[in-house]
Amino acid sequence: MSHARGPGGITITGLIIARRRPGAASGVIFLTLEDETGTASVVICRNI
């Protein structure tokens, strides 16, 4: 994913094993995804 640039999107799949929505981080959700190869941390930001 380090090669992804610009306004395009990335599609990843996995089982959500954790979801965090901290009060101080308005409009941001943190996910941990897991599949058979390992885990990935994901930050989802609301478009401004």
So what's the pLDDT on residue 34? 96
Number of structural domains (the chain) is: 1
pLDDT of residue 11: 81
What is the rounded distance in angstroms from the CA atom of residue 23 to the CA atom of residue 12? 26
How many Å separate Cα 1 from the centre of its chain?
Answer: 12
Q: Is 23 contained in some domain?
A: yes
pTM of the model: 0.64
- pLDDT tens readout for residues 1-48: 556 666 777 788 899 999 998 887 678 899 999 999 999 999 888 765
Is 6 domain-assigned?
Answer: no
Q: Which residues contact 33 (CB under 8 A, 6 or more apart)?
A: 12, 13, 14, 15, 16, 17, 39, 40, 42
Domain assignment present for 10:
no
pLDDT for 44 equals: 86
Domain, as residue range, for 33: 15-45
